[in-house]
Structure 1
Amino acid sequence: MDRGLRDLKREATGQTLAVAAFELTRERGLFGFVTADVVDRAGYSRRTFANHFSCKEEAVASVAFGRVDDVSEILTSLPADLPLLDALLAVMREQFTEDTLLTMRELMTMARQYPTLEPYVLGVQQRMRHTAQELLGSVAGERYPSIYVPLLFGAVYGAVMAALEGTLDVHLSGESDLSSAAMDYSSFLDLTFDYLRNGL
């Protein structure tokens, strides 16, 4: 089997297990099921689970990473001379979809309810951030000062986290609790990147 195909199969297996763990947490609460329930639902063995995750908390949190498209594929499809800010906006639109953000919001709520889940949710968020930032840096190459990529990415990531945590009133499709002051996610991205282009 080709190595690329092997990797894709492994990722798909991990995602299936993660989705099963996430759904069981929704239905029964984190302490209402065990690893055996996850593998039964996903159709895999306990050994397969152990090859992917150290515990059910790690599996639950990993559902968010599995919903994120491969950033490298997004970036390689963009023109080489595209300004980095526009490249990052394209990544945000493709990678951090409303479905992904809804899942991340739900995970953050779960982490507040179940403290043992919190370090795994934070770990997944950090992994997502580092993966995207490293790839963005490789696309930037020598076109920008070395400080530019981490500052730019940090500003955008901070804005997205503020929206996820509720510091900014951003409404995601599928949410029912819409306040009159809430802005939709697309408008939020446009406004964030307008500020970055024109100065805060």
Structure 2
Amino acid sequence: MNDGGLRERKKRATRLALSQATIRLAFERGLDNVAVEDIAAEANVSERTFRNYFASKAEAVVATHVERGKRTAEALRERPADEPLWDALTGAIAGQFEPPPDAPAPPRIDRYTTALQKLLAEPAVQYEVFRAHAMAQDELTAAIADRTGTAAGDLYPQVVAAVANAGLGTAMAHWTRDPAQSLVALLREVFDQIRAGLPDPR
């Protein structure tokens, strides 16, 4: 790997560490009660480093979603070329939420749900979520265009990316209300319905 690629990986790792630290502390204390210096200390970096990466705590919260969008587009490009598009999309998206074998146990569901809902209700966070969705959709559109031999400005990859993001958002909204269920299973159910053309359930 060249030096440029290594630097980019390190930058992405730092962004992700700061984002995860912000989310952890916000869950424990509430976003308003978390200072930038607390986040920097939690991530073992300087306060200046935090400000080099993020303009606000809300932006840091949502950076995990932004990174996930980039990884999803990268994963789609790495799927087998002969795999059907919606199978590839399902695998690329669901794969971002499958925990590694050595992942720690999740927090208590009741506390997690309340903290997550409160964090997502913050107006500043909602604004950053909107921006993150747009960026993720652009990344996915470009990857779909590459895969299908179209241009990112064409209607087809834009529609597919919009539908995929809507499916992801719907699954996550259901999961946020009840994190005891499997998000990966929800995602696969949503994309199974999309792949089938969303037939009338009656």
Shift of 1:4: 0.4
Shift of 1:142: 4.4
**Count of aligned positions:** 184
Extract structure 1 runs of 4+ deviating beyond 6 A: none
The one-letter amino acid of 2:91's match is A
Instruction: Pick one of 177, 187, 190 that aligns with 1:188.
Output: 190
Q: Which residue of 2 aligns with 1:65?
A: 66
Instruction: Pick one of 148, 158, 176 that aligns with 2:180.
Output: 176
Shift of 1:84: 2.8
Aligned residues: percent identity?
26
Contact 2:16 2:63 (C-alpha < 8 Å) held by counterparts: yes
Contact 1:19 1:63 (C-alpha < 8 Å) held by counterparts: yes
- Pair 1:148-2:150 in alignment: no
Q: Which residue of 2 aligns with 1:46?
A: 47
- Pair 1:32-2:40 in alignment: no
Contact 2:77 2:143 (C-alpha < 8 Å) held by counterparts: no
Against the structure 1 CA distance between its residues 142 and 199, is the aligned structure 2 distance closer, same or farther, given a 3 Å change threshold? farther
Q: Which residue of 1 aligns with 2:92?
A: 91
Q: Which residue of 1 aligns with 2:120?
A: 111
Contact 2:74 2:143 (C-alpha < 8 Å) held by counterparts: no
Q: Distance in 1 between matches of 2:83 and 2:188?
A: 21
Shift of 1:58: 0.8
Q: Which residue of 2 aligns with 1:10?
A: 11
Contact 1:22 1:63 (C-alpha < 8 Å) held by counterparts: no
Q: Distance in 2 between matches of 1:37 and 1:59?
A: 13
Against the structure 1 CA distance between its residues 177 and 158, is the aligned structure 2 distance closer, same or farther, given a 3 Å change threshold? closer
Q: Distance in 1 between matches of 2:163 and 2:70?
A: 21
Shift of 1:10: 0.7
Query: Please, which runs of 5 or more residues in structure 1 have no aligned partner?
Result: none
Q: Distance in 1 between matches of 2:200 and 2:76?
A: 25
The one-letter amino acid of 1:43's match is N
Q: Which residue of 2 aligns with 1:138?
A: 146
Listed one character per residue, the Cα deviations across residues 136-182 of structure 1 (whole Å, up to 9, x for unaligned) are 11221149x9322222222232233233334xxxx58x82389xxxx
Against the structure 1 CA distance between its residues 91 and 55, is the aligned structure 2 distance closer, same or farther, given a 3 Å change threshold? same
Q: Secondary structure at the match of 2:197?
A: helix
Q: Which residue of 2 aligns with 1:122?
A: 130
Contact 2:16 2:64 (C-alpha < 8 Å) held by counterparts: yes
Shift of 1:126: 1.7
Against the structure 1 CA distance between its residues 92 and 63, is the aligned structure 2 distance closer, same or farther, given a 3 Å change threshold? closer
CA-atom RMSD in angstroms: 3.4
